[in-house]
Each structure stands twice: as C-alpha cells, then as structure tokens.
Structure 1
Amino acid sequence: MQILFLIALLLVPMMVHADIVVSVRTIRAKEVILASDLEIKSIAVEGAVADPGILVGKEARVALYPGRPIRAADVGPPAIVDRNDLVTLVFGRATLSITAEGRALGRGAVGERIRVMNLSSRTTITGRIRPDGQIEVN
C-alpha cells in the first residue's frame, strides 16, 4: 500500500517555486532597462527570465508592468538608429569603398536590416546597421 502511495506521489506534478525577474515600475516600449527597474520574485512562471543580468541594458520591445513576469521576447538590443536619422551609407568591395548620405526609414539595433533612402538619388534601399551607426549596403 505504501509503495502505491509513493508511486502516486511521484507521478503527481509538483509546483516548483523559482525566482523570476519583474519590473518595479512601468517601463515603456523603446526604453532601456536599468538594474534599479528590476526585482526578483519567488514564483514559478514558465518562460520568464530568471537572471536580471540578462535584462540590464536591453531595450523593452513592449510595455513592462510592475510585478508582471518579463519574458526574453519582451526585450532586445537597444536601437542605435532611429527613424528619420541621417546616416552614412557604405558600399564596399575589396579596395573600393563608396559612401553616401541617407535617411533611415526605420529604427534598429546593431546587425538588424532597415530600409534607408539615399538622399542624392531618392532611391530606397535596405542595409545592415554597423556598430558605428553606418548602414552597410550590398
């Protein structure tokens, strides 16, 4: 009888409490997250971020409300190019490098692709954002 009880106990799912990260204030979308914006709560939420170090310095993609769990998809790298920013377009092959002035038609972080308008030709092109804020065009 005791063996059946032990087996039944093992088969019943147990609620495991884990630490998750929540915000202490409302963080608007496009706002960079600081360590002082976060606290740790001891509850189990599937998919919630458990390490505040992962979130610090990231940009909120959606509004984050106080006491609610933060998921990895809710944050991303901070944007370095905003819509309507003047940017340098760079086209490079081997020893040849051509630059032009452009206007960003979107916003994005390092490595993301955005649409840009070449100001001299008024042509819309797509390029990848470099760490220095220039747009690499192929």
Structure 2
Amino acid sequence: MRRALLILGLLLPHATHAGGLAAARTLPAGTVIGAADLRASDGDHRGLTDPSQAIGLQTRITIYEGRPIQASLLQAPILVNRNQLVRLDFQKGTLRIATNGRSLDQGAAGDLVRVMNLGSRSTITARVNSDGTLSVAH
C-alpha cells in the first residue's frame, strides 16, 4: 500500500504539492470568515484554494488552526434563528401587510422558514430576505 502511494506521488507531483487554504486561527462554529481568518497552506490539503470561496461564509463546526478549509464545513450566514421575533411582510399588488412573527426555523438569505404569526397564531412559510426580514411566500 505504501509503495502504491509512493508511485502515485511520483506520477502526480502536482496533486501532492497542491496548496490550499487553512484556518489562520481556531474558528468556532458560527464564525463568519474574513480574509484575516485564512492563510495559504502547502502540502496535501483537500480543500478550497480560492479565498473568495470562503470569505463571507459561516462555519458549521469549529475549524482548528492550521486545518484545511473545506466547502462542506461552510454555509451561508444564518440571518434568522429559531424562536426569534421577526418582522413579517406580505405584499400582493398594492396591498401590503406587515406584522410580527416568531421564527420556528433558522435560515439564511433566500431560505424558506416556518413562522408563527403572533396575531393569528397560524403557521405560515416565509422567505428570508438579505436584511433579516421575512416575506410571505405565495
């Protein structure tokens, strides 16, 4: 097995010396990644190589310093948390209704979440907007 890996390394030198991105510090779960959180890494890392693929995304789990940054460890930043009070907007034509609700799910921009309308106590589905408000999906 070791011999096969050695031969593979000789045949594919670019694969064994490919650089990637690593965590410059320990990134706790939920951290939104900035440029200062990344560093170039030499060696055999199976992860992201372009900083633009990671900057602005949120970590799903803790990534320890020096570990490669992989796409599966990242997600779009969560804007609405479960049990959070939110503004809920409904618009159809010239009719616009705004009310308060309680999010029953967490979600990032563009996600559909369940929300309880606090006025009627009914559960509806709404889309998370980039500003953290919710629009009723119709």
TM range (shorter): 0.7 to 0.9
Q: Can you give the 5+ residue segments of structure 1 that lack an aligned partner in the other structure?
A: 1-8
Which structure's CA Rg is the greater one? 1
Q: Can you give the 5+ residue segments of structure 2 that lack an aligned partner in the other structure?
A: 1-6
- Structure 1 position 74, deviation (Å): 1.3
Q: What is the percentage of aligned positions where both structures have the same residue?
A: 40
Partner of 2:71: 72
- Structure 1 position 26, deviation (Å): 1.8
Distance 1:131 1:38 in 2: 25
Root mean square deviation of aligned Cα:
1.9
For residues 36-79 of structure 1, what are the alpha-carbon distances to aligned partners after superposition, in whole Å with 9 as ceiling and x for unaligned? 22111112334x10012321221111221222211112112212
Task: List structure 1 segments (4+ residues) > 6 angstroms apart after TM superposition.
Answer: none
Partner of 1:32: 32
For residues 11-37 of structure 1, what are the alpha-carbon distances to aligned partners after superposition, in whole Å with 9 as ceiling and x for unaligned? x74132222001022211111112222
Asked if residue 22 in structure 1 is aligned to residue 22 in structure 2, the reply is: yes
- Structure 1 position 82, deviation (Å): 2.0
- SS of 1:80's partner is strand
For residues 55-111 of structure 1, what are the alpha-carbon distances to aligned partners after superposition, in whole Å with 9 as ceiling and x for unaligned? 122111122122221111211221222222221112221222222210112222111
Partner of 1:81: 80
